[in-house]
Structure formats: C-alpha cells, structure tokens
Structure 1
Amino acid sequence: MTKKKQFPLRLDPKLYEALERWANDEFRSVNSHVEYLLQEAAKKAGRLKEKGN
C-alpha cells in the first residue's frame, strides 16, 4: 500500500460543515472526500494523469 503524505489543513468552519455534509451524502469520510475532490480538480486541470496512463 502506498504511504500517503500527511499535512495539516486549516478550513473555515462553514466550509468544513459543507464538506462534511457532502462527504456523508457520498458515504465517504471528510478526509477521503477532500482527497477525491482534489484529484478530480487536478485531472480536470491537466495536472494529474489518470491511473493507468
């Protein structure tokens, strides 16, 4: 299993609450949902190749 980089992240409490609701709707933890959103944004911006490419 690949080790993941850890770092502290400060968020506005209202943004965190919105992310928490969204993550719950998607059956994810807030942490995994933030990672998912960042991966999708990076792919869309052409900054991250999709796996297998």
Structure 2
Amino acid sequence: MAASSRKAFPLRIDPAVFAAVERLAGAELRSANAEIEMLLREALKARGIEVARTDPPRRGRPPKED
C-alpha cells in the first residue's frame, strides 16, 4: 500500500454542522471529507490565501520501458 500524501487528523465538529456538510456533499456528489476540504479552500481564498493544489497520485500501470 502506497503512503498517502494527505495529512490525517481527528476533527471535533458539531453533529448538526457535520450533517449539513454531508447533505451538501451529497448534493455535490463528493465525500464529506472532500466537501470539508473544498469549504476550507474557499474560506482561505476569501481571506486572500491561495493554496496550491498538489499533484494527484499516479494511477494505473507504469509505462512500459523499451
């Protein structure tokens, strides 16, 4: 199993807020985790902090070498 480049941490959140995030995530066809990340990025951008996106992990077979 490859190591993830994402940081995992526990998040204490009000159940009502989390339920609202889950509803929003469902409407946007995202996971709750992806929705929270999107909301954080939007909040940072609104405050003038631009966060660069990291490259997604490569998937599939490696290219054949000749």
Same fold (TM over 0.5): yes
The structure that has the greater radius of gyration is 2
Aligned pair partner of 1:44 in 46, 61, 64: 46
Q: CA RMSD in A?
A: 1.6
Q: Any unmatched runs of 5+ in structure 2?
A: 54-66
- Whole-angstrom CA distance in 1 between matches of 2:51 and 2:21: 25
- Answering whether residue 22 of structure 2 is matched by residue 16 of structure 1, we say no
Q: Any unmatched runs of 5+ in structure 1?
A: none
What secondary structure does 2:8 align onto? coil
- Whole-angstrom CA distance in 2 between matches of 1:12 and 1:32: 18
Following superposition, the deviation at residue 6 of structure 1 comes to: 1.3
- Answering whether residue 1 of structure 2 is matched by residue 3 of structure 1, we say no
Superposition TM-score, scaled by structure 1 size: 0.80
Aligned identity (percent) is: 44
Q: After superposition, give the CA deviation of every residue in 1:13-53 in whole Å (9 maximum; x if it has no partner).
A: 111111100100000000000000101111111122455xx
2:25–2:31 contact (8 Å) kept in structure 1 = yes
Moved beyond 3 Å, runs of 4+: none
Work out which structure has the larger RCO, using CA pairs closer than 8 Å and 6 or more positions apart in sequence. 1
Would you say how many aligned residue pairs link Structure 1 and Structure 2? 50
